[in-house]
Structure 1
Amino acid sequence: MKRRAAPKKFLLKRPAFWIVLILIVALGSAAVAHEMLTRLANREAAVKTISKPKPKPVKLTAAEKKVAKKYYLSPRVTAKAHAAKVTAIGDSVMVDIKPEIKQVFPHVLVNGAVGRQFYDLPNITQSLKAENKLADNVVVNLGTNGPPEKADVSRFLKVVGNKRQVYWINTHVPSQKWEGKTNRLIAATAKSHRNVHMVDWHDFSEGQTNFFASDGVHLQTNGAIAYVALLAKTMAE
């Protein structure tokens, strides 16, 4: 008597079917993923190979080249400083550096006075504004003769407004107890106002005794050069 053949298993119930199906799906996914990654890589490569226009070289006049060399400035910084319209307000340190700042910033109005305090600044600024002499860039060098008060800072910033840029040079008066207070207030003001920038003369000049006269505050010629150069570089950032 012949033996009957075992009935064939339904296809979906066979383990081999599922193994083959899983392999097909996995290989298909891998192929799709590979294709996507290849396209992405090609796209990034295409972006990288797009030639970006090179910035035009800055051309300086003969006089500007001398300034760049004297103050160790790049052509870009020199050109920006040469074109900038600046109002500089300060104390005796500002008086000291007047020749240097005029050399680097030919369109600067310097308003400096010996012994000037920060509380004088709001009224001075208001007067200059009324006379249409308050430029888009306002440089402040005050705090040497005493610490500024927050109320005076607020009054000054209100006069200046939000569109002008303020460059506040911090102080180097190691013999006076208000040096730290003044510089902390300058740093805090710069941090909380987008148009106020601290020029960190204190840290830059730390240990540079050859920059200063015997009082450690007023500047020798090389100190004045470094002072104005730092200002120009900060303004160009």
Structure 2
Amino acid sequence: MKKSGTIPYAQTLAIGDSIMIDIESDLKDAVPNVTIDGLVGRQLRDTIPLANSYQKFNNSSSAVILELGTNGPFTEDQLDKLLSRFNRAHIYLINTRVPRNWESEVNQYIEKAASKDNVTVIDWHKQSLDNNHYFAKDGVHLTGRGSQTYVDLLTNKMKK
């Protein structure tokens, strides 16, 4: 369900893996001035150096959406390093639902990151439980309905 209101950021950066590619069209429709960088197979560790090329988004009028953890685990230190690259932006960190053994570990690190003043966690895991119709047959990638629900969940948190 869509919440009324507007997204108050001058610009938004969205970095992710193939899930970001799944939601790209819906996200572009919902978020003005969004730059999307999705890559199949991307892991969080690969985004730490990538973040340096997106420093124009590290300011208080920007939002940074991070969707990672689908393709493998990461450490708390790696997540902290990535978040520190955007320490002045409003970060929306989306947890994961993936039928892999690292899901719980990744989501624990993401939940811990919510203690940072500029981080809001988007609980996709909870939203998608018992909603297998949001997923393609592989249990990872999203259907059209899954993509729209994902984007609505995210943008409802972003709206003021």
Q: TM-score, normalised by structure 1?
A: 0.63
Matches within 5 A, 1:1-237: 72-76=1-5, 79-80=6-7, 85-129=11-55, 132=56, 136-161=62-87, 163-173=88-98, 175-191=99-115, 193-236=116-159
Distance in 2 between residues matched to 1:200 and 1:133, nearest whole Å: 23
Distance in 2 between residues matched to 1:75 and 1:170, nearest whole Å: 24
Unaligned runs of 5+ in 2: none
Percent sequence identity is 35
Cα pair distance change 1:134/1:112, threshold 3 Å: farther
SS of corresponding position for 2:142 = coil
- Measure how far apart 1:99 and its partner are: 0.3
RMSD: 1.6
- Measure how far apart 1:75 and its partner are: 2.9
Q: Is the CA contact 2:57–2:63 (under 8 Å) kept in the aligned structure 1?
A: no
Cα pair distance change 1:134/1:98, threshold 3 Å: farther
- Measure how far apart 1:147 and its partner are: 1.4
Give the number of aligned pairs. Answer: 158
Distance in 1 between residues matched to 2:47 and 2:76, nearest whole Å: 12
- Measure how far apart 1:216 and its partner are: 1.1
Distance in 2 between residues matched to 1:229 and 1:74, nearest whole Å: 8
Structure 2 letter corresponding to 1:120: D
Structure 2 letter corresponding to 1:172: R
Distance in 2 between residues matched to 1:80 and 1:108, nearest whole Å: 11
SS of corresponding position for 1:80 = coil
Distance in 1 between residues matched to 2:97 and 2:3, nearest whole Å: 26
Q: Specify which structure has the higher proportion of strand.
A: 2
- The answer to which of 200-209 and 143-152 deviates more is 143-152
Q: TM-score, normalised by structure 2?
A: 0.92
Distance in 2 between residues matched to 1:84 and 1:177, nearest whole Å: 38
Structure 1 letter corresponding to 2:91: V
Distance in 2 between residues matched to 1:88 and 1:125, nearest whole Å: 11
- Measure how far apart 1:158 and its partner are: 2.1
Q: Is the CA contact 2:51–2:82 (under 8 Å) kept in the aligned structure 1?
A: yes
1:40 aligns with: none
Distance in 2 between residues matched to 1:215 and 1:99, nearest whole Å: 21
Moved >3 Å (runs of 4+): none
Q: Which has the higher contact order (CA 8 A, sep 6+)?
A: 2
Structure 1 letter corresponding to 2:3: S
Unaligned runs of 5+ in 1: 1-71
Q: Is the CA contact 1:100–1:225 (under 8 Å) kept in the aligned structure 2?
A: yes
Q: Specify which structure has the higher proportion of helix.
A: 1
- Measure how far apart 1:212 and its partner are: 0.5
